[in-house]
Amino acid sequence: MANFQIYPAVDLKDGNCVRLVHGKEKKMTIYENDPIKQVKFFAQNGFKWVHIVDLNAAFGKCDNKEVILKILNTFKNNIKIQLGGGIRSIEDIKFWIESGVSRIVLGTFAFKNPDLINNLSDFFNKKLALGLDIKNNKIAVNGWTRLLEIDPIKYVSEIDKKFFDKVIYTDISKDGTLTGVNILQTTKFAKSIKIPIIASGGISDIDNVKALYNHRDIGISGVIIGKAIYEKKFDLKNLTMFSGN
């Protein structure tokens, strides 16, 4: 059976752990003002990975670099970090990998610089994930403020798979809403590409997770869960049973 991973989400805004609805800054809820405490909670509950998004950097308004470095230094021996948000240069990617990030999520930068991305050195092998934020079947970039006229499936077929070992597929219309994952579109997309995908957006209960887990053999390799965890929609022991290494 294919491996499957649960990625609890830590979205950082001004040093706080927050959740947005549809990626909009004005629809924000602060759940924890100590990110170290939040990551520690996830580590203590058996999660192997944490998905961190630097919302400040994504929106181009400063960043949470010091907070993220503190998380990396504190948990370097017991949890892996998947990081996205505002990473806009090769230097940024290299800095974070050297700082201990296990996987970098690239969105806007990858779409704007396809030739640069496909000519990276072996240092970046299997260290990257492509962040596909989808709205109306189009790719959203720049903190979800702009839509690209690019076919997502065609784009994925053209990226070098030795660098990208995951695609993070987010349905923006579902993100932060607790209305349920878009299983139909997610499975359709997973079948259409040759890179394993991590589903994201709208997870509301354990049945959503089970549905994705049951499709792991068609390329769904995990799920990012944010608001549903913070709103206590799960018994976390039931959630971590789905996670691999």
Nearby residues of 19 by Cβ (< 8 Å), 6 or more positions away: 9, 11, 28, 29, 31, 176, 226, 227, 230
Choose, from 54, 63, 133, 175, the residue flagged as catalytic. Answer: 133
CA 158, CA 153: separation in Å to the nearest integer? 9
Is there a contact between 51 and 9 (Cβ–Cβ < 8 Å)? yes
Active site residue 11: yes
SS3 content of the chain, % helix, strand, coil (to 5): 35, 30, 35
Active site residue 63: no
**Per residue in 103-124, is it b (16+ CB within 10 Å) or e — as a string?**
bbbbbbbbbeeeeebeebeeeb
Q: Which residues carry out catalysis?
A: 11, 133
